[in-house]
Structure formats: C-alpha cells, structure tokens
A and B are shown apart, each in its own frame.
Chain A
Amino acid sequence: MRFTLALTFALFLSGMLVYTTFSAASPERFPGQIASVADPAQTYRVGGRVVEGSVSRPGGVLHFKLGHPGTAAGEQIEVTYEGTVPDTFREGRDVLIDVKRGAAGTGSTEFVGQDNSLVTKCPSKFNGAPMNADGTTPLPKT
C-alpha cells in the first residue's frame, strides 16, 4: 500500500515536472530563426552576437541589434530591453535574452526583451587566453 502511494506520488511529480518544464521552457534560437517567423504569443530565448555600432540607450532604454557573425542584416533582430543590463554587456559580445515579438507584429524584426533576462555569455571570463611573448599582440575580447 505504502509502496503504491509512493510510486503514485513519484509518477505524479514526474508528470508535473515534465509537463511544466516543456510548457514553461523557452526554446533557444538564433536571431535568423525567429526574425521573420516568430509567433507573437510565444517567448523565445535567443542567443546571438550584439552587432557592432548598434547599441543605444535613448531615454535609458537599451536598444541593440542581435545577429551572428557573417549573417545578413535580414537575419538580425532589433531588441528593446528595460531590465538589468549585465556589466559584461558590450557590442561584439555573445548574449542570451528572452524576447517576444514587438507591437509592429509579423514581418517586423523588432522584439522586446523580457524582464531581467539578458545574460552575457563570456566563456573566456575566467579563462584568459595565452598572450604572445611581447605582450602586445591583440587578444580576442571574449
């Protein structure tokens, strides 16, 4: 009897976990995958590189373009974000952010960043790249 109860509880919990994670999780996409086809009702976790020269903060609101190196402008998205900006956020850095399509709707590449979801990927943060002997050779920034 107790074993049956425990098993039922475990199965119930497992079912809950699986259901809630798959329904709450944000799939990770590249900017090019959502630029034109994003469903306005869905939140996407998008990972890409902040386009050089695209960052501005009119009225304190962060605007930037997100793309991938070498991708066409059409494969970039424009993001407006009002949450916490990590100290490591910069042009040219790889970031992750939860976004929803903006008010302009399908066809536009404008997206709105969700609350405090901006994360800067910086894999070399704790792992410095080796320098050349003269110490003057340029190093990759991330």
Chain B
Amino acid sequence: MDVVGRALLILALGVSIFGSGAALAAARNVGPAALMLAARRALYAVLALSVGAFVLLEIAFIKPDFHYTVVTGHASLTTPLGYRIAAPWASQEGSLLLWLTLLSLTSTIAIRSLRGRMRDVEPYALAVLLLLAAFFAGLLVLAAKPFATVPVAPQDGLGLSPLLRYPTMMIHPPLLYSGYTLFAVPFAFAIGALAAGRLGGDWIVHTRRYALAAWLLLGTGIILGSRWSYAELGWGGYWAWDPVENASVMPWLTATAFLHTIVVQERRGLLKTWNVSLVLATGLLCLLGTFLVRSGILESIHAFGASTVGPPFLILIGGLLALSIWLVIKRRKLLEPSGEIQALSRESMFLVGNLALIVLVVVVLWGTFFPLISEGLTGDAASVGPTWFSQYSTPSALAIVALAGLAPLLPWGKGRWGAFGRAALLPLVVGILVGVATAILGGTHSIAAILVATASAFTLVSVAREFVIGARARRALTGDAPPTALLRSIAGNRRRYGGYLVHAGIATLLLAVAASTAFDTTKQQPLRIGEKIDLAQGRQLQYVGPTGKIVLNEQDRVERIEFGAKMRVWRDGRPAELITPRHDFYPSAASIAFGPVGRFFEGEETSEISLSSGASRDLWVAATPDSKAIVDRAKAVNEGFVKLVSERNLSGDIAGEVLAKSLQGIVDQHLASSPPVITRAIDAPGVFWVWIGAAMMGLGGLLAVSQPSVARSRAKAAALARVGQELSAA
C-alpha cells in the first residue's frame, strides 16, 4: 500500500507540473487549443490522486500499521479510534497531504463553477492553483514523505500527544487548512486578472463567495483553537499572541479588510489597487502561516519539529511576492480609480476600518517575526510578549469596533452631518451610559476596558437600529407582523444583514474580552485539604480531597493515570457545586530508560481543568499535584519491581500482575498521603460572551455566504426574463 501511496503522490506532482505548464501555455496562446482542456483535466486528476493518497494514509492510521514511520510517531495501540482518524494532521506529512487534498478540491470547485466565464483569466488562475498543488506534492515526494516505511514494524507507536487528545482536534486543523486553501482561489484569480489585464469586477464577483467562505472557516478554526486552548492547555487563557496563532489571524484580518472594500469597488469602482493588493497579501499570508508552523523557525507551542521544508516555502513565498508586486506595478494604469471617496460616507468608514485592520496586521507581523529581525540586526534573538501586542491591538480593536457601528449609520456616496448626528444620537447615548456603568461597577483601573465597553454598546445599538429600520420598511410595504417583517427583510438581503450580525458579533466578542481580562480574579496557591481560596463576589474554592485512578483502554492497556482534586465551590458562605480538576500522566514508550513502572509517569502530562461556565462569570480551575513527588515515588517502586522480577525470575503473567499492583500502590499511596495541590483559579466575567460573539460572527458569515452570487442572480433573472418573453409571445 505504501508503494501505491508513493506512486499516487509522484503522479500528482507530475500531473500538476504538466497542468500548470499547459495552463500557462494556453494563457499565452502557445501550442494546441486543447491544452486548456488538458490543464483542467490535470486539476481533476490531482484531486483524485491526492484524495486517494489521503485515504490510504487514513487506512494506515486506522489499522494502525506501524510499518509507516508517520503512524508510529503519532498513533499507538492505546490511541482511541477517533484520534487515530485525526492523527494524520498532527504530523507534518499528513497535514501537508491534507493541504494538497483540500487545495485541489477547492480549486476544482472554483474552476468548474466558472462555466465558460472569464476565459482570459482562467488559464492564469489555473496555472497558479496547479503550481501551488505541484509545490505541496513536491514537498510530499521529496521532503515530508507520508508513505515512508520501515522493514519491520515496531510493536507499538508513540501515540498522539495527549495535548492533542481533545475533540476539537478532529476539526480545528481541517478548518484552518480549508480557510487557507480557499483563500488560494481569490489569490490565483487576482494574479490571473492582473496577468490578463482584466481588472473589471468579474474576478471579484466570482471569488467573493470563496473569500467569504474562507474567512468563515478560518475564523471558526481560530475560535475553536482559542476554546481548545482555554479548556485544555492549563494556563487559563484563550489567546497568547503565540507565533502560530498570529500567523492564522493575519490573513483573517486582511480578508476582513478586503471583504469590506470590494463592496466599494463593486459599487463605486474605487480602491482597485488596494483590493487586489489585499487579496494578494491574504494569499501570501496563508502561505506564510503554513511556513511558520512547518519550518520550526519560531518557538511556538503549535510548531512542528525543525524540518527541511522551510527553504522551499521561503522560495515560493518570495517568488509569488515578487510576481504580485511586479503585476500590480505593471497594471497600475488599469487599477486607477474612477472617482473619489467623500469624507462623510460609508466607504470612508470602510477605508478607515481597513487602515485599522492593516495597522494591526503590520504590528502582528512585525512582533511575530521580531526575534528573527532582532537576531539579524543585533545578533540577539529578542522577542516581545503579550503586553507589547496589547499596547497596539487595544487601540486598533477600539477603532475597529467603533467603525463597525459608525459605518451602518452613513449612506454610500455623500452623507449629511445633520442626518448622521440624528442617527448616531441613540447609539452614542447608550454607549456613554454603558461606559459610565462599567466605570462605576468595575472601577476605573482599566480605561481601555471602559472605552471598549462604550464603543461596543454604541455598535450593538447602531446595528440593532438597522435591523429595526429594515423591518419597519418591510412592514410598511407589506403589512407583515413585526417578527415576519424582520425575518423577511433579513432573507431579502442576507449579505447585508449577515454583515451587520458580524459587526454585532465582533462588538460582543471584544466587550467580553475587555471584561474578562480587565475584571478577572486570578489566584494561584498550594492548598491543603480543607483550605479555601477567596474569589470574586463572595465565592470561595475549597480543597476537599485527592482523587486517583488508573484508566484502561479497550484493550485493557493503561491509557493514563489520573491524579485529581475534589473541590467545593462556596457561594455566599453556602456550599455549592463539587468540581474535580485533575492532572493526567500518559505512559512513555521508553521502557528501558525509565523502567517498567517508571515509564507510566515519565511520558507527557496534561492538566484537565474544571470549568464552571455561566452567562455572567466563568470559574476556571486547574489543580496540579506535586508531580515530582509522584515521579520520585514511581522511581523507587520501579527499582523494587525490577529487583523482585530478576531475583524471583517471575514469569510474564505474574510480573504483569505485580506491575498492575505496583501502579495501583502508587495511586493508593498518593491518596493516603493527603497531598497538597497547587491550585490555579480564574474567576472571570463575560468569557461565555466571547463564544457567543464568535457564534454571532459565524452565523453572520453563513448568512452572507448563503446569498447567491450576483452573477448567478443575473443569470437567473435573465432566464426568467426569457421565459417571460416566450410566454408573452405565445
């Protein structure tokens, strides 16, 4: 099977190189006319080949077949089936294969949906898409080989890192990759439009839904990653300005920018250079993000190990960047605007919002790569932390959320100050009232939080006002009941109201971020049995006692050993719920280095936090026992076990029973010793609304993406008109 897998990838590489060349030749009118058809078929063949290779790899993980080095490195007999299915994208090789598969899938959909339109642009776009496919197929054939095997399979594999054993692992990476690969479509069509000199609105109309879908998938992937981090990583936060987090958010921010300004181009024929540059930047940032995760050049909790795929990525990104800049300069005359933006208009707000987003992207890019910049300039790899990022992201976020409320209040073209003042009055009053209430209730120690609360409330009221106006207009026309009028007005313009819902979502999310970071109570201290920690608003947390358990998998092998803490939450002096945060030990495969007993305590450790989540506050608790004491005890038991087995010459079955009793003995000793636990508790307001805000953004994105494209609407209208004409003629 490995030979078939390798052959499929080699074929994918050859076919994509041929297809890219054929498409380019067709674009330049070199060679026979059938070349374009051959290029399209090459793309479909790459899709079939990459899907085939991915299925083979999945089968190897599901079995699991330890002949494959990638399976040995990321799965084991104790890895549950669900995680074995997800394990391919935990590896460098599998994730690159997933990239190729998703890229060829999205490219095929984009090319097939053209249906004869944009004949000048299509060959160039296809050449770029197949070039990207060839690059990833080349990596899989030459550098990161998913079908590499060993002649004799080991008895077991290393298993999936326990940190990755979280349900989100099944969908978080595929969502990110889907977002990245979908952004390749607008990128390729932008290059195609520039190369062909066809810079009208066609390429934007065709690719907008792909961009919107990519924005939605990438955003969903990012937020699921945040939730994963919050619930699994044991540090109690949802965003850490980690290089790989930053790499995923940068293309999302540039995409947010161009999804606004392409509307300006469609309506007014303005900002053409800006839009095409943003689309190109988004595509390049997606590749940069992929490079960051895979090259290992920056320290990150997400990064794969150091590898050889970095230089090829740099060459690709550098080449495409140079091509993009050259094409934009070459076509600058075709990109000239056909008008001007008025200061008081919706498009001016879009542009200022864009600037705020781009400033944020520049800041994040600079901060992320600063260790490399600093090392290059000074010889020292210095880095900046969350405080530095917050210094810039807070004012940018404030501007973005305020503009999300201001833009809907202004018309396209030229607004009037009087009308604007009247429209802004209610949102402004509510915003100020909320700001004052925040200062009174939360204190004035965080001016940024008060300003974000004011801006968010302003935007929420501004957006609500738009929904009310739309429903009223519909009701006046049709006489519908208010809820029906609201739903029908939304259904009639899903893109517009989807956008408004996204604005309301971002306001809710940022308000929640401000509340949860500025007004949280964080305590970390060791607790003995019976001791309490004081939290916010009369809550307390009491350590009741330790827990311990050996967890076996379906094959009766030890999957992990859990050491936890029973903790009682007290509210206003009365006992409330009982929670049980724990700390798990996963076995190491290195049985000789750590011994038959020691290996069960020398693998990875994870904190499984307890989360009591409510609409107003979250109580997040991690409890860590003294790992060193447990490992030291295991080492001592291990010595005794090894001595006993060798002295008494115990058979395999008896030794196995003694081993099981030894492990249980370690757990029992731990329980009997009434050990203290290091407790970290975070009592934070509003975290729940971070996820609600994100859900609103996702729903808004779905609503917007569900609206048929203008081209399809026009085609439908034309077909209806033809039917109408034929009927009237009959």
Q: Are B155 and A116 touching (Cβ within 8 A)?
A: no
**Least CB separation from A61: chain B residue:** B526
Q: Are B382 and A84 touching (Cβ within 8 A)?
A: no
A17 to B364, CA, bound (A): 10
Q: Are A82 and B524 touching (Cβ within 8 A)?
A: yes
Supposing A59-B526, A82-B524 touch, asked if A26 and B383 sit within 8 A by C-beta, the answer is yes
Supposing A20-B391, A21-B370, A127-B305 touch, asked if A138 and B526 sit within 8 A by C-beta, the answer is no
- Residues of chain B within 8 A of A123, CB atoms compared: 296, 303, 305-306
- Residues of chain A within 8 A of B306, CB atoms compared: 123
Minimum CB–CB distance for B633 against chain A, Å:
15
Number of interface residues of B (CB under 8 A): 72
Kindly supply a per-residue 1/0 record for chain B positions 552-594, scoring 1 wherever the CB is within 8 Å of any chain A CB and 0 otherwise: 0000000000000000000000000000000100001111110
- Residues of chain A within 8 A of B74, CB atoms compared: 126, 128
Q: For A59, A84, A87, which residue has the most chain B Cβ atoms within 10 angstroms?
A: A87
Cβ-defined partner of B157 (8 Å) among A21, A116, A131, A137 = A131
Residue B542 at the A interface, CB < 8 A? no
- Residues of chain B within 8 A of A131, CB atoms compared: 72, 154, 157-158, 589
Residue A98 at the B interface, CB < 8 A? yes
Residue B1 at the A interface, CB < 8 A? no
Q: Are B154 and A117 touching (Cβ within 8 A)?
A: no
Cβ-defined partner of B161 (8 Å) among A84, A116, A117, A125 = A125
**Least CB separation from B388: chain A residue:** A24
Residue B381 at the A interface, CB < 8 A? yes
Q: Are B628 and A87 touching (Cβ within 8 A)?
A: no
Q: Are B305 and A126 touching (Cβ within 8 A)?
A: yes
Residue B91 at the A interface, CB < 8 A? yes
Q: Are A137 and B592 touching (Cβ within 8 A)?
A: yes
- Residues of chain B within 8 A of A87, CB atoms compared: 163, 233-234, 583, 604-607
Q: Are B301 and A28 touching (Cβ within 8 A)?
A: no
Q: Are B371 and A60 touching (Cβ within 8 A)?
A: no
**Least CB separation from B72: chain A residue:** A131
Q: Are A126 and B304 touching (Cβ within 8 A)?
A: yes
Q: Are B680 and A135 touching (Cβ within 8 A)?
A: no
Kindly supply a per-residue 1/0 record for chain A positions 116-142, scoring 1 wherever the CB is within 8 Å of any chain B CB and 0 otherwise: 110101011111111111111111010
Q: How many residue pairs at the A-B interface have CB separations less than 8 Å?
A: 154
Q: Are B150 and A128 touching (Cβ within 8 A)?
A: no
Q: Are B525 and A116 touching (Cβ within 8 A)?
A: no
A119 to B378, CA, bound (A): 24
Residue A106 at the B interface, CB < 8 A? no
Residue A34 at the B interface, CB < 8 A? no
- Residues of chain A within 8 A of B299, CB atoms compared: 96, 119, 121
The DSSP consensus for interface residues of chain A is loop
Minimum CB–CB distance for A67 against chain B, Å:
18
Residue A85 at the B interface, CB < 8 A? yes
Q: Are B234 and A128 touching (Cβ within 8 A)?
A: no
- In the complex, chain B residues 299-326 whose Cβ is within 8 Å of any chain A Cβ: 299, 301-307
**Least CB separation from B629: chain A residue:** A57
Residue B73 at the A interface, CB < 8 A? yes
A31 to B163, CA, bound (A): 29
Residue B385 at the A interface, CB < 8 A? yes
- Residues of chain A within 8 A of B366, CB atoms compared: 17, 21
- Residues of chain A within 8 A of B161, CB atoms compared: 125-126
Cβ-defined partner of B163 (8 Å) among A84, A125, A130 = A125
Minimum CB–CB distance for A44 against chain B, Å:
10
Residue B362 at the A interface, CB < 8 A? yes
Minimum CB–CB distance for B294 against chain A, Å:
10
Q: Are B367 and A21 touching (Cβ within 8 A)?
A: yes
Residue B347 at the A interface, CB < 8 A? no
Cβ-defined partner of B604 (8 Å) among A45, A56, A88, A117 = A88
Minimum CB–CB distance for A6 against chain B, Å:
9
Kindly supply a per-residue 1/0 record for chain B positions 435-452, scoring 1 wherever the CB is within 8 Å of any chain A CB and 0 otherwise: 000000000000000000
Minimum CB–CB distance for B289 against chain A, Å:
16
Residue A13 at the B interface, CB < 8 A? yes
Minimum CB–CB distance for B504 against chain A, Å:
29
Q: Are B592 and A138 touching (Cβ within 8 A)?
A: yes
Residue B194 at the A interface, CB < 8 A? no
Q: Are A24 and B387 touching (Cβ within 8 A)?
A: yes
Residue B374 at the A interface, CB < 8 A? yes
- Residues of chain A within 8 A of B307, CB atoms compared: 127
Q: Are B154 and A135 touching (Cβ within 8 A)?
A: yes
Supposing A25-B383, A128-B74, A133-B154 touch, asked if A17 and B362 sit within 8 A by C-beta, the answer is yes
Q: For A98, A117, A130, which residue has the most chain B Cβ atoms within 10 angstroms?
A: A130
Q: Are A21 and B526 touching (Cβ within 8 A)?
A: no
Residue B261 at the A interface, CB < 8 A? no
Residue A112 at the B interface, CB < 8 A? no
- In the complex, chain A residues 11-36 whose Cβ is within 8 Å of any chain B Cβ: 13, 17, 20-22, 24-29
- Residues of chain B within 8 A of A139, CB atoms compared: 158, 588-590, 593
Q: Are A141 and B382 touching (Cβ within 8 A)?
A: no
Residue B626 at the A interface, CB < 8 A? yes
- Residues of chain A within 8 A of B3, CB atoms compared: none
The 10 lowest CB-CB distance pairs between A and B, nearest first, are A128-B73, A60-B526, A127-B305, A25-B382, A133-B152, A138-B593, A135-B154, A135-B155, A128-B158, A27-B380
A125-B161, A138-B593 are known contacts; what are 10 more A-B pairs with Cβ within 8 Å?
A: A20-B388, A83-B524, A87-B163, A87-B607, A98-B385, A126-B91, A126-B161, A131-B158, A134-B154, A139-B589
13 contacts between A and B (CB under 8 A): A24-B385, A27-B378, A28-B381, A28-B382, A56-B628, A84-B236, A84-B680, A87-B605, A98-B385, A125-B161, A126-B91, A126-B161, A141-B593
